[in-house]
Chains A and B, each alone.
Chain A
Amino acid sequence: MKTEISATEAIVTGGGSPARRLRSKADSTGARIRSVLKHAGLTALAVLMLYPVVWMLVSSFRPTAEIFTTPGLSLEGFTLENYTLGWDALSQPFGRYLLNSALVVLGAIVGNLVSCSLAAYAFARLAFKGRRWMFGLMLLTIMLPLQVIIVPQYIMFNSVGWVNTVLPLIVPKLFATDGFFVFLMVQFIRGLPRELDEAARIDGCGHFRTFWQILLPLMTPALATTAIFTFIWTWNDFFSQVIYLTSPESYTVQPALRAFLDSQGQSSWGPLFAMSIVSIVPVFLAFLFGQKYLVRGIATTGLK
């Protein structure tokens, strides 16, 4: 795909009429200067944007006092003390919170993959009564503010004793409540040739086998996008986690970090930075390895 673009690029910019080529020769010094300036500006902006995060990373290896005096990135007294202090700063070791987060994320991913793909197959490929308005309803839920449902949900989960467990954060995902991913998968399935299903049908496949053996394997990119987005959004989710997880041993990473911030004064910015870095490493890795799917996913749906 990339080479294709640069090929057309070459044709468009390199080809052209002789008059244009002449003009471009005259312009070339100006164009080069402009291109250098553009790259310089873009690089400067990229550095400016990422600098705070890099600075936090470097500062997490510094004694706390230096965090308030050293805006640069030079590292004089390298120390791991912040990490050891931060790890045990709360009532549970930080690993516990990482584990809780991992559990929630894993449950959410599995739930979303299974339930959303099932619903998406029905919306994209099957004819049934009420398809139109059900699909519309699903799209509406994407826009529904979470605040409207969180209070009754809390009351419901509280009455069955699920508060301070991971269940309120996982169970709804088993029921395709993330309309965004249903939509993403519907869009993707609509792009797959219908002949595939028909051929499978002629060969005697039922709907479930058609879905399971023909479409699901082809949906890998959409499934990967779903998995990675679910990972990042669930990992970063704060609102519902801070509501459902109030006892320290049930904390996931985000509420834990917030509790740490609350309980500490100025003296512990070092350990705070260290645990902040720990908390974003998984997201960073997901971004690094899943960027292709993230970009493709948001490009196909046009959603965030």
Chain B
Amino acid sequence: MTATSAPRIPRRVRARRGMRESLAAYGFLAPWIIGMLAFTIGPVIASFVLSFTKYNLLRPPTWIGTRNYEQMLQDERLQHSLGVTFTYVVTAVPLQLVVALGLAMLLDRGMRGMSFYRSAFYLPSMLGASVAIAVLWRQMFGADGLVNQVLSMFGVEGASWIASPDTALGTLILLHVWTFGSPLVIFLAGLRNVPRMYYEAAQVDGAGPVRRFISITLPLLSPIIFFNLVLQVIGAFQTFTQAFVVSNGTGGPSDATLFFTLYLYQKGFPGFQMGYASAMAWLLLLIVAAVTALNFWLSKWWVFYED
């Protein structure tokens, strides 16, 4: 940074220039700083304070100490919603990444039709978050939906996948896997950076495709896989839209799709239990932070950095 100013400039001038640069920097950062305080840090602190209150927007908040947190310990629906969310996170995220990685391996090496495949696989991840796709999912996995129509051609009579507590969550996991295109594109970009000579050298030494994958591709790609894992996990904890639309906002059938964020929404927005919702949000923050920390800690054993 300071290398830009030539060494012959007197220190006083340099200091003044540095100060001017600092001032300019704060000018450029002014919107960001204001936004950070007003829309991020302020609300994070407010949310923490609110979590110790009872507040319904109409009357001023009243301090109730840790009662919201105590209530969370008793709240069976909340615990159930955590279970649903964890089940989703530990199945949907790895499944999606494995599919993306597998396809990235197949698609590598500048093959013919590459751009077609990439577009076809990538498009769903652009659409996946929309209500329209959730509408489609609800029809597809309904009693007379597309899936059962196809199954009946093979003589299988399926019941509604959405209305059954055993399969409702599965349809949402499938929806997440359907959006494997975005990690796929990142993996493809990562694979392009793996020096080809590594593979050639390994091939000369007689390493088969499985060995090459385990000994070359996986270690070199591991930072990218790790990065995606961390972000996908954080994102998956916040899954909302699809569960909301598919279950009409109820989290049903029998709470099978009651994600933590959906329950939080129910408490906070139709329910206006702002204090309780804030306490739930803080619990979510702590869980996400803990899981992310765990991810980083685990990465010591499987993520490989070249230098």
Query: Which residues in A have some Cβ–Cβ distance to B below 8 Å?
Result: 5-6, 8-9, 12, 38-39, 42, 45-46, 49-50, 52-53, 55-56, 67-71, 114-115, 118-119, 121-123, 126-129, 131, 134, 137-138, 141, 143-156, 158, 172, 174-177, 182, 194, 198, 206-208, 211, 232-233, 235-239, 242-243, 253-254, 257-258, 261-262, 269, 272-273, 276-277, 279-280, 283-284, 286-287, 291, 294-295, 298-299, 302-304
Given A9-B109, A52-B146, the answer on whether A115 and B32 have CB atoms closer than 8 Å is yes
Interface pairs (7), CB distance under 8 Å: A46-B116, A144-B44, A145-B281, A148-B43, A155-B57, A238-B131, A295-B118
Measured between C-beta atoms, what is the minimum distance from B271 to chain A in Å? 12
Q: Which residues of A contact B150 (CB under 8 A)?
A: 71
Q: How far is the CA of A191 from the CA of B61 in the complex (A)?
A: 50
Q: Which residues of A contact B42 (CB under 8 A)?
A: 152
User: Contact partner of B47 among A5, A149, A287, CB < 8 A?
Assistant: A149
Given A145-B285, A238-B244, A298-B182, the answer on whether A304 and B232 have CB atoms closer than 8 Å is yes
Q: Is B52 an interface residue (CB 8 A)?
A: no
Q: How far is the CA of A127 from the CA of B133 in the complex (A)?
A: 46
Given A239-B241, A276-B135, the answer on whether A126 and B24 have CB atoms closer than 8 Å is yes
User: Contact partner of A176 among B18, B32, B227, B288, CB < 8 A?
Assistant: B32
CB atoms of A232 and B126 under 8 A apart? yes
Tell me the chain B residues, 84-115 only, with Cβ under 8 Å from chain A. 103, 106-107, 109-110, 112-113
User: Contact partner of B149 among A68, A138, A206, A298, CB < 8 A?
Assistant: A68
Q: Is B69 an interface residue (CB 8 A)?
A: no
CB atoms of A298 and B185 under 8 A apart? yes
Tell me the chain B residues, 163-190 only, with Cβ under 8 Å from chain A. 178, 182-183, 185-186, 188-190
- Closest residue of chain A to B232, judged by CB? A304
User: Contact partner of A257 among B132, B265, B268, CB < 8 A?
Assistant: B132
Q: How far is the CA of A294 from the CA of B47 in the complex (A)?
A: 34
- Closest residue of chain A to B274, judged by CB? A151
User: Contact partner of A152 among B50, B107, B178, CB < 8 A?
Assistant: B50
CB atoms of A145 and B196 under 8 A apart? no
CB atoms of B22 and A261 under 8 A apart? no
Tell me the chain B residues, 197-252 only, with Cβ under 8 Å from chain A. 200, 224, 227-228, 231-232, 234-235, 237-238, 240-241, 244-245, 248-249
Contact-residue bracket for chain B: 35 or more
Given A175-B35, A257-B132, A283-B130, the answer on whether A207 and B24 have CB atoms closer than 8 Å is yes
User: Contact partner of A118 among B32, B232, B292, CB < 8 A?
Assistant: B32
Measured between C-beta atoms, what is the minimum distance from A115 to chain B in Å? 4
Q: How far is the CA of A283 from the CA of B123 in the complex (A)?
A: 10
Given A138-B32, A277-B132, the answer on whether A155 and B185 have CB atoms closer than 8 Å is no
Q: How far is the CA of A239 from the CA of B183 in the complex (A)?
A: 23
- Closest residue of chain B to A143, judged by CB? B234
Q: Told that A273-B139, A287-B123 touch, could you supply 6 new A-B pairs with CB distance under 8 A?
A: A145-B288, A151-B268, A175-B35, A238-B240, A254-B130, A280-B127
Q: Which residues of B contact A176 (CB under 8 A)?
A: 31-32, 35
Q: Which residues of A contact B64 (CB under 8 A)?
A: none
Q: Which residues of B contact A174 (CB under 8 A)?
A: 31, 35
Q: How far is the CA of A129 from the CA of B21 in the complex (A)?
A: 10
- Closest residue of chain B to A300, judged by CB? B189
Q: Is B162 an interface residue (CB 8 A)?
A: no
CB atoms of A5 and B110 under 8 A apart? yes
CB atoms of A257 and B32 under 8 A apart? no
Q: Is B159 an interface residue (CB 8 A)?
A: no
Q: Is B34 an interface residue (CB 8 A)?
A: yes
- Closest residue of chain B to A295, judged by CB? B185
CB atoms of A299 and B113 under 8 A apart? no
Given A52-B146, A122-B25, the answer on whether A151 and B4 have CB atoms closer than 8 Å is no
User: Contact partner of B31 among A119, A141, A287, A302, CB < 8 A?
Assistant: A119
Measured between C-beta atoms, what is the minimum distance from A300 to chain B in Å? 8
